Amino acid sequence: MSFKNNKQSLKKKKSTERAKRKRRNDSIKIKRYKARASFWEKKYKEEKSKNKSEFGGKKIKHHSYCSAIITLALILHTETSMSLRDSETVLRIFIQQMHIDSKCPDHSTIDNWLKKAGMQAIEPFSPERPCVLICDESISFNGKKLFLVLAVPVSVSDQQRTLRFEDCHLVYLGAKKGWSADVIYKELQPLVQKLKIQYVLSDKGSNLLKATALLGLDHVSDITHEVSRTLKNLYNDTDDYKNFIKWVGELRKDLACGEYAHLAPPKVRHHCRFHQLGQYEKWFRKVGPELKNVAEESKGAALSLLQISDHTPFIKDLISLTPVIKEILSVGRTEGISHKTILKLTQKMEELEGDRPTIFREKITHYFHKTYKTIGEDIPFCCSAIIESVFGKYKSKMSSHPQKMCTNHLLTIPLFFVKENEIAELVSGFDTVKVAEIKDKEAVAKAMMSVQMAA
């Protein structure tokens, strides 16, 4: 009996020792695994922090987002056709797919960033640089009109190309119910006194012409408007033009659906029809060879195509004028007006044939000589299409919110003139602009006033 008890006691003792040894070994393994897990967790956090700093950079003072997220949001809105909500969606997808440790900004936050960057982008133009002022007013938005003034350094003309946004410098921006000559004079007088302005470039609006005279500056009429105005005066009241436009409109409706839909003429808006008159010439060159394939036995709209011979006089003028107009606008936008360009375009216009094209040649030649004589020297810029592009771009951005177009959202316009690689510099200065400043109803006026005082 005692032997059996001793055996059981010994067995129990060995079992206890095994359990202790197992617990000891498990404890050692746990400590080892914990140390290893702690090492890799630390490594992971360091790598994550490193990746985050490499992509996002430092957080902007008083902001919850890194500089890269803010910069990307600004580029998405200014360099693409995206709306604020589209930019928000793209940023959210980008942050998720790239596993970036950051929350996604909403559209209102992006809107505040745009206004802050716009305020940062408004800088005084150097008064020592000779420049040309390009100015114009927009159509009415919510009872107000935008008035924009751009300063273009004369040195830009050495590049012999059309103007780009980055070539221009925003020197005035405002919105009022009306821009009379006296109002324009009052707003621009402090600016004009500080800058070296060679002349003012704009269309022939009576308020702009009078304001330029009050400011004591020379005025150059925009070549694009001059060409379209001359064409309008020559053709707008003629039967040839009226019958052609009527026929083209009816033809577009007839050919909207059917076998000959590809032969339909282009749609040109009424108020810019003479700006885009060349579209009809391009259409005729495309359609002319196709007419041979249109059988006279065809029923329906195809028969109306055969009436094109009834409009031969106008189409003949169109074919004669279009290449000459393209050359005039191309040379005017890239080289300006000088003895060299006047001679080149005069020789080109000698190709014009017909009564009205001949009158067109005389009118445009008179415009060149009169403008050159008024300024008394070479004119580096004679096309103000860049300012129309600004209005068009802003209008497309704000098309879903037209009632806000003349509010402090105007602060986003200065960003159009900032290069993509310069946006990061604007973001670094966000801490100097407060939200209260961009939400002020007079934010735009105050920003322009500070620029004029600093110039």
- Give 5-14 pLDDT, tens digit per residue: 666 677 677 7
pLDDT value, residue 53: 47
Q: Please provide the distance, in angstroms rounded to a whole number, between the alpha carbons at the two ends of the chain.
A: 113
DSSP element (H, E) containing 313: helix 312-335
- Tell me: pLDDT of 445 over 60: yes
How far is it, in rounded angstroms, from Cα 371 to Cα 200?
Answer: 12
Q: Which of 63, 71, 58 is nearest to 425 (CA)?
A: 71
Q: How far apart are CA 192 and CA 204, in angstroms?
A: 20
Does the CA dihedral 333-339-343-349 come out positive or negative?
positive
Q: How far apart are CA 201 and CA 223, in angstroms?
A: 10
Taking only the tens place, the pLDDT of each residue in 152-178 is 999 988 888 889 999 999 999 998 998
How many residues would you count in the chain? 455
The pLDDT assigned to 363 comes to 93
What is the pLDDT confidence band of residue 78, given thresholds at 50, 70 and 90? confident
Which pTM does this prediction carry? 0.81
Residue 253 pLDDT > 90, yes or no? no
Say whether pLDDT at 135 is over 70.
Answer: yes
Please count the other Cβ atoms lying within 10 Å of the Cβ belonging to residue 386.
Answer: 21
Closest CA to 199 of 377, 405, 425, 6: 377
Two tokens at 20? 């202790």
pLDDT at 230: 92
> Tell me, what's the pLDDT at 157?
85
What are the tens digits of pLDDT across the range 319-330? Answer: 889 899 999 999
